[in-house]
Structure 1
Amino acid sequence: MPKEFNIPPVSFPTPSPSTTPSTMNHPSTTTHPTTSPPLHHRTFPPTAPFPPPSSSSSSIPFMSFDISSHTQTPSSSAYPSSYPPPPPHNLSSSSLFLDEPSLLEELEINPTLIWRKTRSLLNPIRPDPTLHSSDPDLSGPFLYYLSLALFQLLAGKVQFGVILGWIAISSVFLYSVLNFLAGRGGNLDLYRCVSVVGYSLMPIVVFSAASLFLPPVGSSAVGLVVAGVFVVWATRLCSRLLAEDSIGCEEHRGLIAFPCFLIYTLFSMLVMF
């Protein structure tokens, strides 16, 4: 049985009486003098992008800035009064730092003083105790500690921490012994003691540098004799400087020399073995 479909009827609009067949066939030629064109076909008069301000009192007046019409002087208007003027062009940058201290002075490192103290220690018989007691420093001892550690590193021994630890312990030990000997009349402080012990390490540093070019000194009698010479040299320097500085007399020099001999013997053993 065929299926029926309900289709609504199609209605076509009837043309108006005013429409003629010629206008229906040619819609592009149709003119409507009484109707307005579509919106997208309209033309508007050109307008300025920024219209001039109105003369009413409520509008903000337009302010023009003419930079070329104003001349400014560098001393008055180019720089504010709260800031100083720049330096002249003929002044070099190096002359600005003439009053600044050097980096060595800020770090309290005096190479001239270090050389004078080192030169006085080259004579083990008559060192200059006043030079070490009047102006102690730690820059020279630190240089000797670092030199000894570097020479040991060239020999294949990494002993930076060992040398620094032994220096700290030996300085505190020697400072305590000297205060017991001096009593209330002693004037030695720990800073000066560390400085003297560090500067007296110079013969051991020389021995460490010489051991790089010598056969193993720990396995021969000649090496032991050479090590003993440098130990006695360092002991004599340290005991003389500390005896005249802390106590002020030579009668306790033998007692001071014994702990000094133990300290520098330990450092020489680091070099030998």
Structure 2
Amino acid sequence: MAKEFNVPPVIFPSGGNPSTSAGPHQRRLPTAPFQPPRPAVNPTLPFMSFDVGSAPPSTSFSAPVFGGSIGGSSGSLGFDEEPPLLEELGINTRQIWRKTVSILNPFRVNPNLHEDADLSGPFIFLMAFGLFQLLAHKLHFGIILGWVTVAALFLYVVFNMLAGRNGNLDLYRCFSLVGYCMLPMVIFSAVSLFVPEQGVVIFGLGAFFVLWSTRVCTRLLVELASCGDEHRGLIAYACWLIYMLFSLLVIF
């Protein structure tokens, strides 16, 4: 015989639907997959209202400024006022051109133009010298760079030994002067392409350009460095040895 159980009737509050009625067991709405849960609103945080209609409408459009600094300072430069890229890299093309023109006249060399030493012009001359040698079927780029380094060190040591403690020739300026005075050797390397090899003409041209480079380098060293006028002959002999080696590189 089955036993009967008395089940009390279910009464919903206010006659509402249990799925929508508020209570401790409120039903949660389904959310989309892989969607983070929404943060709960903190009732303690103040709510700030903004009145859009109270702001005055803007009638002008201001374009963004890209040349300004991060801090927004009024003294920042724009694209039109910025210096060229070569000057930012320390390459002054006007200064290189003026130094080149001054060396082209061995009797009127302006030592004041070589007060500011640089290696941009010498590097251009050395690459041009190696390029003309390459046109003569001679690959001498490594030899040229190595000889210039040894020549600058040799001239630096000789000059400071002659000048003693009063000598103020630094190695950087010595590299710059030796490199700029390579311009006659570059011209000789270009002219040698049109001259027969192992002839009297090429030896005569080599002697002329060696004397040209020696005179220019000696005068610049004497004028720019102190205590060089007393030993002008020895300095000229050291310069002559340096550029004689480069002329032999062109001839042979």
TM-score of the aligned structures, taking structure 1 as reference length? 0.66
Is 1:55 aligned to 2:34, yes or no? no
1:72 Cα deviation after fit: 8.7
1: CA distance, partners of 2:105 / 2:227:
21
1: CA distance, partners of 2:52 / 2:141:
65
Can you list the C-alpha shifts for 1:105-164, whole angstroms capped at 9, x where unaligned?
1220000000000111111112111211x2111000001011101111111111110000
- The aligned amino acid for 1:264 is Y
Identity %: 52
2:142 aligns with one of 135, 157, 161: 161
Q: Which runs of 5+ in 1 are unaligned?
A: 1-51, 64-70, 76-86
2:99 aligns with one of 106, 114, 117: 117
1: CA distance, partners of 2:78 / 2:215:
49
Q: Which runs of 5+ in 2 are unaligned?
A: 1-17, 30-37, 39-50, 56-61, 68-76
SS in 2 for 1:251: helix
Is the contact between residue 182 and residue 246 of structure 1 (CA under 8 Å) also seen in structure 2?
no
1:186 aligns with one of 160, 164, 167: 167
TM-score of the aligned structures, taking structure 2 as reference length? 0.71
Is the contact between residue 195 and residue 201 of structure 2 (CA under 8 Å) also seen in structure 1?
no
1:92 Cα deviation after fit: 8.8
* 1:60 to 1:189, Cα distance in 2 relative to 1, 3 A: farther
2: CA distance, partners of 1:229 / 1:60:
104
Is the contact between residue 129 and residue 244 of structure 1 (CA under 8 Å) also seen in structure 2?
yes
1:213 Cα deviation after fit: 1.7
Q: What RMSD, in angstroms, separates the aligned Cα atoms of the two structures?
A: 3.0
Structure 1 match to 2:240: 261
SS in 2 for 1:109: coil
Is 1:229 aligned to 2:203, yes or no? no
2: CA distance, partners of 1:129 / 1:60:
93
Is the contact between residue 136 and residue 192 of structure 1 (CA under 8 Å) also seen in structure 2?
yes
2: CA distance, partners of 1:112 / 1:146:
19
Give the total of aligned pairs.
201
Is 1:197 aligned to 2:178, yes or no? yes
